[in-house]
Amino acid sequence: MKEFYTIADILEITGLSDRTIRHYISQNMLCGKKISGVWQFSAEQLVNFMNDPNVLPGIRAKKNALVYDFLAQNRRTEPEMCLMVDLPGQDSQAVSSFFCDAINAVGDADIHFSFDSLGGQTPRVILKGQPQQVMKLMQQFYAAE
């Protein structure tokens, strides 16, 4: 599990825009510390933010858009996969951290990631991208268990 999350991590997890996240920071809806010019947020701060009733509908809309956009696209030029997996019994923070770190480590891969903690209990991960990249991430996840 990560010791802290950055704005880039939060963008990846929520699907919200940089401008929206910074607005939430300015409104004290997302609390953290700015260290050496970089915003840092604890796992607890991130969970509190994501469960805020004023923020949750926007996050869910972005997550759902990932799947809806995939389904609506009917003229692809390359293979693409959209995978949704619920992981009961897994720690939400650990799952979120794993996928954030793994996707950031890939760098130039065009993988879209969405994460939700259903009712605060079951982590749900949505990955969209080239089938080989999506499957490789899932293999890495299960190998790390």
Domain coordinates in residue numbering, the chain: 7-144
Q: What is the pLDDT of residue 31?
A: 94
Residue 125 has pLDDT above 70, yes or no: yes
Please state, rounded to an integer, the average pLDDT across all residues of the chain. Answer: 87
pLDDT digits 0-9 by tens, 21-66: 999 999 999 999 999 999 999 988 988 898 889 998 888 888 888 8
pLDDT digits 0-9 by tens, 101-124: 888 787 766 888 887 776 667 888
Residue 144 has pLDDT above 90, yes or no: no
Q: What is the pLDDT of residue 120?
A: 66
Structural contact between residues 130 and 110, judged by C-beta atoms closer than 8 angstroms:
yes
